[in-house]
A and B are shown apart, each in its own frame.
Chain A
């Protein structure tokens, strides 16, 4: 047969990762169906939350170019075993028989329209004041409450107040 497959399964902390290499010794492109033989559902590779084209819960369907190889990998809940996947069938492929693109194609192939998190103000965590500044402010507060605040403390606070107003005006 012109199509051969080598596959291995490895356990990674309860999840089985399967890798497979499908080889086409023919000159012509061939469409192949690779099915999972392990006892578990296929967790296919995803992009933006959508399964990469060709993948479904049982395996993968796609084209192996003539004299070419196709590398596949997926995760599965079932325990590892020899030959974790197999070629269910192959057929000659027409040059490109893909139909029109779908919603999944749009999500997979086009950019995400949502604004990135860094594009606007977000909630500022309370500990956002740098520790050194917080420590200095605590020191000033202690001195003010003890009545031992110096002229230098007063000038520093005024200068800080001016800085903050300038920053708030520019924001």
Chain B
């Protein structure tokens, strides 16, 4: 199963949500933000190498941490050398080997968002209580619809409740992730909040989000 996590706008918490869902769904998280990767990385082959044909998808997956991650390179030269056309087959091959793949998608509406949506079984839209964020969430939701990637749930980040209008407009159940200092602390350490602070309010939100995804029966 391939689950694309998209936000449309940057800074709404797409990578945070992808990492948390990776932990909860026992998935490999693929950092597909080719030019502005922000999930933790490590030495060894990364997605840039895989998309340039220098490494196989499975050998680039880092196992052994709290969450298995296929990290992305940080260099502009690496990003330029990528063949984005390979990304779909890469995600499918990781899914065949590991079962569940969560894709942390870039902001914007470029091909590195479209390709994961084209191969995804479903998507999660991450948005936040700010008007520009919601406008971009609607756009990326439409993009997901054109690629037939069903919306499993809406992650409404840094909020205590999801307005009914958000669920109605996007057409999926919303889960509020409360503003929580532990999320920032966990991100600095590179670990999911749910692993470091299981009793934090945000961890409960991420748990509810994973339940909403599971409820789709994918």
Q: Contacts A100-B148, A113-B84, A114-B35 known; A107 to B111 CB distance under 8 Å?
A: yes
Q: Contacts A101-B146, A101-B148 known; A111 to B118 CB distance under 8 Å?
A: no
Q: Contacts A112-B111, A113-B34 known; A106 to B76 CB distance under 8 Å?
A: no
Contacts of B115 in A (CB 8 A): 103, 106-107
Complex formed: what's the CA distance from A62 to B124 in Å?
34
Answer whether residue A119 sits at the interface, using C-beta atoms and an 8 A cutoff.
yes
- The count of chain B contact residues (Cβ–Cβ below 8 Å) is 26
Contacts of B147 in A (CB 8 A): 100-102, 105-106
What are some 19 contacts across the A-B interface (CB < 8 A)? Answer: A49-B85, A100-B147, A100-B148, A101-B146, A103-B87, A103-B115, A105-B114, A105-B118, A105-B147, A106-B115, A106-B147, A107-B84, A107-B115, A110-B110, A111-B108, A113-B35, A113-B79, A113-B106, A114-B34
Contact A103 B119 (CB under 8 A): yes
What are the interface flags for B31-59 relative to A under an 8 Å C-beta threshold, 1 for contact and 0 otherwise?
00011000000000000000000000000
Q: Which of A102, A114, A115, A117 has the most CB of B within 10 A?
A: A114
Give B89 Cβ to nearest chain A Cβ, in Å.
Answer: 8
Complex formed: what's the CA distance from A85 to B34 in Å?
42
Complex formed: what's the CA distance from A114 to B81 in Å?
8
Describe B's contact surface by its main secondary structure.
helix
Complex formed: what's the CA distance from A68 to B189 in Å?
62
What are the interface flags for B107-122 relative to A under an 8 Å C-beta threshold, 1 for contact and 0 otherwise?
0111111110111000
Name A residues whose Cβ lies closer than 8 Å to a Cβ of B.
48-50, 99-103, 105-107, 109-115, 117, 119-120
Contact A113 B85 (CB under 8 A): no
Q: Contacts A100-B148, A101-B118, A106-B114 known; A112 to B76 CB distance under 8 Å?
A: no
Can you add 11 more A-B contacts, CB < 8 Å, to A101-B146, A113-B112? A100-B146, A103-B85, A103-B118, A106-B114, A106-B147, A107-B84, A110-B111, A112-B84, A112-B110, A115-B79, A119-B76
Give A109 Cβ to nearest chain B Cβ, in Å.
Answer: 7
Q: Contacts A101-B146, A115-B76, A117-B80 known; A110 to B109 CB distance under 8 Å?
A: yes
Complex formed: what's the CA distance from A112 to B76 in Å?
14
Give B121 Cβ to nearest chain A Cβ, in Å.
Answer: 12
Complex formed: what's the CA distance from A94 to B79 in Å?
42
Contacts of B113 in A (CB 8 A): 110, 113
Contact B79 A114 (CB under 8 A): yes
Contacts of A112 in B (CB 8 A): 84, 110-111
Contacts of A100 in B (CB 8 A): 146-148
Complex formed: what's the CA distance from A30 to B107 in Å?
39
Contacts of B117 in A (CB 8 A): 106
Complex formed: what's the CA distance from A107 to B119 in Å?
13
Complex formed: what's the CA distance from A49 to B84 in Å?
11
Complex formed: what's the CA distance from A112 to B79 in Å?
11
Complex formed: what's the CA distance from A114 to B32 in Å?
12
- What is the chain A residue whose CB lies nearest that of B147? A101
Q: Contacts A106-B111, A119-B76, A120-B76 known; A114 to B82 CB distance under 8 Å?
A: yes
Contacts of A120 in B (CB 8 A): 76-77
Answer whether residue B13 sits at the interface, using C-beta atoms and an 8 A cutoff.
no
Contacts of A119 in B (CB 8 A): 76
Contacts of B119 in A (CB 8 A): 103
Contacts of B85 in A (CB 8 A): 49-50, 103, 107
